[in-house]
Structure 1
Amino acid sequence: MRSIKPRHLRRRAFPRYLSTSTSSIQPHITPITSLLIANRGEIALRINKTAKRLGIKTTTLYTEPDATSQHASCSPQSIGLGAANGYLDGERIVKLAKQHGIQALHPGYGFLSENSAFAKRCEQEGIVFVGPPAQAMADMGDKARSKEIMTKAGVPCVPGYHGSDQGEAELLNHAKEIKFPVLLKSVKGGGGKGMRIVMEESEFLQQLKSARAEARASFGAGGEVMLVEKYIIRPRHVEVQVFADKHGNCVALGERDCSVQRRHQKILEESPAPDLDDVTRLDLWGKARTAALAVGYVGAGTVEFILDKDTGDFYFMEMNTRLQVEHPVSEMVTGTDLVEWQFRVAAGETLPLTQKEILERIRERGAAIEARIYAENPEKGFIPDSGKLVHLKTPQTNEDIRIDAGFVQGDTVTEAYDGMIAKLIVRGKDRETAIRKMELALHNYEVVGLSTNIEFLKRLCRSPAFIEGDVETGFIEKWKEELFDPVIIQPEVYVQAALGVFASQPTNSIEPHGESLGFGSGGSERKFSFKSLDVRDPKEGETVEVSISQKGNNLFDARVIRKGIDPEVFENLVSSPVATSETTSLVTFFPRTRVETTVVQDPNNDNKITIFQHGAKTELSLAPPTWYEKALGLKEVAASVAAPMPCKILKNEVKEGDRVTKGTPLVVIESMKMETVIRSPQDGVIKRLAHKEGDKCKADTVLVVFEEDDATQ
């Protein structure tokens, strides 16, 4: 397909165009030469990349947890902000910009990007804020106020209550008038924080308290002010990327479907939206432009709509007054660089493309999909994770495959911030091709050191309902059985795991795993005991024994013994392992197939083995000898409940000596500003509470210990 170079790039280079243009329709152009990037992670790297290409000098900010991060070293100058909450210190950031003679500031997304007071301070100090005017941000940032403006402008809104009656009884009465189910959300909400679906009246007050607590933690004072809206049973989340300049022009750069979500947060975004007729599509674009113009908007923004699958009607939900995480999807289908557009518009230029030109590009360039690579565990309710990226391999990139990432191998994903590791964006001539490209790229994505959603994303790409475009915000729950169907680990995986561990261990070493069985000095035959760590595996927790016999140079026999199955024997396997300190690459010729495998041993957890084979990831534990239990006190650990992620203890719901039943709330924890209730996995008696409220814990730290007799029932 012919590559289209943006029209404005064909005319002249960016710095000269900014500083010397004499066009009568662009009389207020101010050249941008220095930029402060007031954000972190992949968006800071993304902004820096475009700024560098345009000859703009950049300065980045970092906090103590980010001191060794990629964004801290990507610019010629970087400035430390101290503690983890430093990115929220607007006054200090403005002062630093003035102190260092920086002309413009880009807020990225998150943190201060939608803070109207911060935007106003930049304006007051003569700093070019690369974003919308403070007033437009304030109007659209207040969800109640934005609904009033949209209604007046003729943009349809979801029925609901957006007023000042904030007492529990008053809000409950408004919910009754709207009729259940309803949606509670903070007026300052975003990213699913402070949002709850209330299906019936009896659970309203409990959900209200929970939503308010989470909103206060996420947005500070005022976050507890709530909206009550009608909850649409089968909604789609469709948003429109808009862009406006200072001369009254506004365009839509297509729509994105963001319906596949968990915890009201997006996982996959795609453009164009599937199963959407052209009449509805152009109507959405038109209403989005109307919404932006109604508040005098300037720059990049996203107008979000709820589309009712049952009626085809759509309603204004909110406007995100910033660049969105998923903006690369729109860039892929329009052939644009929206960060460059932001710089141009902030400098006073008119929009580079007309609405007609954008429509032509979208029709020519096909479809794009973005997958967010998160540090989280989908099989355990998508709980966040953190840790060091022990092993990281990414797909090859090209004009149709893009990766926006803030981490490289060896970096640590901290619990202090959002757990997004990267964004994988692909483009195809049509939606079906884009999905196939996405799945293939995910097959080549390898991460070890923390849990990720990569395997789950692969299953999404194979889902018949997703392939058909039958999406809605309840998609994951609707297709839960299919997306979390059982997995059977093939014997070849166990053989390759054993060969990988065998190759990584010196022949004369004494290891707690891999019991020697003789055959010469140090033994040439070893026996390994593995357990599956995949909760979807029906055999999870059962021991699988694998013996490896070395018969010659790169020649092996293997034997796999599993409960209830006859031993599986593999003879004369030709395998050529190449081992490093943590990773072993294997090419093994089985009787009817050649298998390429990567085996990774996590140095932070020597029991854990990760296998990448045939585009799939399998996690196993090396079962220690029985004498380890007594020596290391593993019996008590087995009779306990551990923290699923790094967290802070908010509340202990039980006390020592309590008898509890399975499902009883034990501890409330907080991680990444999200509250999670840890429930009892069994009936039993509480022997010990390991931590008090306010304590901070690492992942896998014991929280509650049961009486041992109860734990073995």
Structure 2
Amino acid sequence: MTGTVLVANRGEVAVRIVRACRDRGLRSVVVHTDVDAGALPTRVADAAVLVPSYLDVDAVVTAAWGAWAVHPGYGLLAEDAGFARAVTDAGLVFVGPPAEVVAAMGDKVRARALARRCEVPVLDGTDGPVEALDAAGAREAAARIGFPLLVKAAHGGGGRGMRVVTGPAELDGALTAAAREAAAAFGHGEVFLERYVARARHVEVQVLADHHGAVAVLGDRDCTVQRRHQKLLEEAPAPDLPDAVRAELHAASRRLAAEVGYRGAGTVEFLVDRDTGEPAFLEMNTRLQVEHGVTELVTGVDLVVAQLRIAAGEALGSVVGSVGDVEVRGHAIQARVAAEDPWEGFRPAPGRVTALALPAGPWVRCDLGVEAGDAVPGAYDSLLGKVHAWGPDRATAASRLGAALDDLAVTGVPTTAPYLRGVLRRPEHVAMAHDTGSVERDWAPDPAERPAVARPDTAERPDAAEPARGDRTVHLGTDRGPLTLRVPRHRDAAPGPAAAARPRDEGAASPRAEVAGDPVAPMDATVVDVVVTAGQDVDAGAVLVVLEAMKMELPVRAARAARVDAVHVAAGDRVTAGSALVAVTPP
């Protein structure tokens, strides 16, 4: 395992992979777009290559010219079978499972069938995409499954392309919205139907597999604290999970990984019904997980290094010292720090981190993709990074994480950190009595706990990131086409703006969607759908326009009953914060 690794990702995961490469004496090269010029990954890597898009397979593979391997991270192209195949076809090593495995498990309908074949319990649902049915067939399938049900993207993850349907009248709209979001996020608009478990725990099992058919289980995690089907807090091991259920999930995950010929790090996800205690297969993620850090803390295994060593052909026994169940010690909890405002419905909030102070301590770990002065662009995911804490037991880990979140200070953008501080103290969370719907159903942020607003003196557009001081651009001609590289300043050079200390609050709150007068865009965003037309009467709460920012859809609703006088935007338009979307008057 020598040479160069191309990191085909951005943000905190790119930084994490670069550090793992450095640990193993490997050279790292990251790709970046114009929006991410000068971002932290380009400053810590040995070199950076400009690409038109992180999803441009040809450009990313060309950027890997001369490398030993390509690490896809998570998100973006990480679960794109075509990308995995293009990497190997170019004579490079793909740090992940074979392309055919990525394809099989990336298609959730096909993955459900494979799980059944391995005697892994599966929720009732459609055996194929809804697109294969006519309207009557979709309604018949929904009636058979029963309500509530879930419309779910057949490809991708991260909670996108999912809609809960509580009755027949909502089905058509949910199918349209889920398909649209899935197509925008993953390039595939296929959706299927699945029984919705109203009160569920989200439990997942971490596996590692080598080229020789060996599979190890590195414990499990609980990811039940979620909003919009996306995780906020994760912990390992899953607390209060009956021994019989834990053993069943571990065995099922090992069977599935062996059946599909898995290789590298993967995660098998399950729902556990709070009312019946019965587990059911959710999906298998063929990549590193955002929450991998808590597993690392309780097992002592560096999962990114393990991925690299397995990709180099090493046997699992030499990588983790075990083939079977890896020993778990203590407890670890992770908080996802995202540029969102929980007091505004977790509205994404692009901007610029004007100051940053990180927590420290022997049991605390911070994996962030930004430093003070860095832009948080609206074009990508809202995740800034994660804060982890370890303890000999769950209560100690939670206490240490709470103290770490108290010490975390981010200025310039609001974050999820202050809300998650409160979640850790909630009695239901302490007692492990919550479910995946608790955040949106029961745990509304307390207005009294909302952090004070701190706005930067000068507004800055988040997409106007500038290269760090000392960066230079190099244009190269190769036998595979031209390359443009941005060579970052040396990592030991003087840092950017100092991380000024500040009171424990988060930065600028995002604008509200419901304001006096005409509805306006609450942030810089893209219009993905205009629901109303001029002359239409709408009720209070009716959706007028659907926006997308930071890979999330945000419906802008009527604050009161009104008549739509004019529509100022169309699908595909880019809008800035505060710009008028529609004109309304009282009906």
TM-score of the superposed pair, with normalisation by structure 1: 0.72
Greater Cα shift, 693-702 or 318-327: 693-702
CA distance in 2, matches of 1:231, 1:661: 29
Answering whether residue 413 of structure 2 is matched by residue 450 of structure 1, we say yes
How far off is 1:190 after superposition?
A: 0.7
Of 332, 344, 348, which residue of structure 1 is paired with 2:297? 332
Checking the alignment, whether the CA contact within 8 Å between 2:200 and 2:435 is kept in structure 1 is: yes
Aligned to 1:556: none
Q: How much has 1:293 moved relative to structure 2?
A: 0.6
Q: How does 1:285-684 map onto structure 2 within 5 Å?
A: 285-351=250-316, 352-355=319-322, 359-360=326-327, 362=328, 365-396=329-360, 398-480=361-443, 483-487=444-448, 601-604=455-458, 613=503, 615=504, 638-654=516-532, 660-684=538-562
Deviation at 1:104, TM superposition (A): 0.9
- Show CA shifts across 1:8-27 (max 9, x none): xxxxxxxxxxxxxxxxxxxx
Aligned residue identity for 2:431: E
CA shift digits 1:480-530 (9 cap, x unpaired)? 3xx4234179xxx9xxxxxxxxxxxxxxxxxxxxxxxxxxxxxxxxxxxxx
**5 Å matches for 1:89-104?**
89-98=56-65, 101-104=66-69
Does structure 2 conserve the Cα–Cα contact (< 8 Å) formed by 1:166 and 1:226? no
Query: What is aligned with 1:67?
Result: 37
Q: Is the 8 A contact 1:661 1:680 kept in 2?
A: yes
How far off its partner does 1:658 sit? Answer: 6.0
CA contact (8 A) 1:41 1:71 kept: yes
Aligned partner (choices 109, 115, 136) of residue 150 of structure 1:
115
Instruction: Please report how far the alpha carbon of residue 240 of structure 1 lies from its aligned counterpart in structure 2 after TM superposition.
Output: 0.4
Report deviation, 1:371.
Answer: 0.6
Post-superposition shift, 1:617?
5.5
The aligned counterpart of 2:161 is: 194
Query: 1:619: Cα distance to partner?
Result: 7.4
Q: Which amino acid in 2 is paired with 1:367? A: H
**Residue in structure 1 matched with residue 463 of structure 2 by the alignment:** none
Task: Specify the structure having the higher radius of gyration (Cα).
Answer: 1
What's the CA shift for 1:410?
0.8
The answer as to whether partners of 2:234 and 2:294 remain within 8 angstroms in 1 is yes
Provide the rounded CA distance (Å) in 2 between the counterparts of 1:230 and 1:686. 37
8 A contact 1:238–1:256 mirrored in 2: yes
Equivalent runs, 1:126-205 vs 2, <5 Å: 126-163=91-128, 165-205=132-172
CA RMSD across the alignment: 2.6
Counterpart of 1:694, as a letter, is G
CA distance in 1, matches of 2:563, 2:414: 31
AA aligned opposite 1:644: P
Q: CA deviation at 1:685?
A: 5.6
Check the 8 A contact 1:32/1:104 in 2, yes or no.
no
**In the alignment, residue 438 of structure 1 is paired with which amino acid?**
L
CA deviations over 1:304-354 (Å, ceiling 9, x no partner): 011111111111111000001110010011111111111111111112235
Relative to structure 1, the CA distance from residue 74 to residue 305 in structure 2 (aligned partners, 3 Å threshold; closer, same or farther) is same
**Offset, 1:277:** 2.0
CA distance in 1, matches of 2:459, 2:211: 55
2:82 aligns with one of 102, 114, 117: 117
**Would the alpha carbon gap of residues 339 and 603 (structure 1) be closer, same or farther in structure 2, given more than 3 Å must change?**
same
2:209 alignment counterpart: 244
Distance in 2 (alpha carbons) for counterparts of 1:113 and 1:357? 26
Which of 4, 11, 14 aligns to 1:44? It is 14
Consecutive unaligned residues of structure 2, counting only runs of 5 or more, are 461-499
Q: Distance in 2 between matches of 1:299 and 1:315?
A: 23
Residues of 2 paired with 1:45 and 1:686: CA distance? 47
Identity of aligned pairs, percent? 40
Structure-2 change in CA distance of 1:601 and 1:485 (3 Å): closer
Separation (CA, whole Å) in 2 of partners of 1:94 and 1:641: 44
Letter in 1 for 2:579: T
Q: What TM-score comes out, normalization by structure 2 length?
A: 0.86
Asked if the contact 2:152/2:162 (under 8 Å) is kept, the reply is yes
Give the Cα–Cα distance (whole angstroms) in 2 for the partners of residues 187 and 488 of structure 1.
39
Report how far residue 255 of structure 1 moved: 0.5
The alignment status of 1:208 with 2:198, answered yes or no, reads: no
Q: State the shift of 1:228 in Å.
A: 1.3
Q: Deviations over 1:149-196 (max 9, x none)?
A: 111111111121122533332122111112222111121131111111
One-letter code of the match for 1:216?
A
SS of equivalent to 1:333? helix
* AA in 2 matched with 1:199: T
Check conservation: 1:104, 1:128, Cα contact below 8 A: yes
Aligned residues of 1:166 and 1:225 also touching (Cα < 8 A): no
- Report whether the alignment pairs 1:234 with 2:199: yes
Q: Distance in 1 between matches of 2:507 and 2:304?
A: 39
For 1:124 and 1:620, locate their aligned partners in 2 and report how far apart those are by CA, in whole Å. Answer: 47
Q: 1:67 to 1:278 in 2, by over 3 A?
A: same
3-state SS in 1 of match to 2:150: strand
Deviation at 1:601, TM superposition (A): 5.0
Contact 1:32 1:347 in 2 (8 A): no
Letter in 2 for 1:248: G
Q: Distance in 2 between matches of 1:91 and 1:56?
A: 24
Q: How many residues align?
A: 540
AA of the residue aligned to 2:21: A
Q: What SS does the aligned partner of 1:415 have?
A: coil
Secondary structure at 1:51's aligned position in 2? Answer: helix
The 1:167–1:654 alpha-carbon spacing in structure 2 relative to 1, beyond 3 Å, is closer
Deviation, structure 1 residue 694: 3.4
Change (3 A) 1:650 1:247: closer
Structure 2 vs 1, CA of residues 176 and 603 (structure 1 numbering), >3 Å: closer, same or farther?
same
Q: Which residue in the other structure is 2:472 paired with?
A: none
* Structure 2: distance between partners of 1:488 and 1:53: 41
Contact 1:388/1:450 (8 A) holds in 2: yes
**Which amino acid is the alignment partner of residue 448 of structure 2?**
V
What secondary structure, in the 3-state scheme, does the structure 2 residue paired with 1:259 have?
strand
Aligned to 2:484: none
Counterpart of 1:603, as a letter, is D
User: Which of residues 572, 576, 587 is equivalent to 1:694?
Assistant: 572
- Residues of 2 paired with 1:464 and 1:358: CA distance? 32
Whole-Å Cα distance in 1 between the matches of residues 545 and 281 of structure 2?
38
Q: Is the 8 A contact 1:109 1:322 kept in 2?
A: yes
Gaps of 5+ in 1: 1-30, 494-531, 534-599, 622-636
Deviations, residues 653-700 of structure 1 (Å, cap 9, x unaligned): 445676654323332222234332211223456566554543312223
**Cα distance, 1:245–1:255 mapped onto 2, change above 3 Å:** same
Q: Distance in 1 between matches of 2:338 and 2:403?
A: 18
Which amino acid in structure 1 is aligned with residue 294 of structure 2?
V
Partner Cα separation in structure 2 for residue 655 and residue 140 of structure 1? 41
Relative contact order, higher structure (CA 8 A, sep 6+): 2
SS in 2 for 1:311: coil
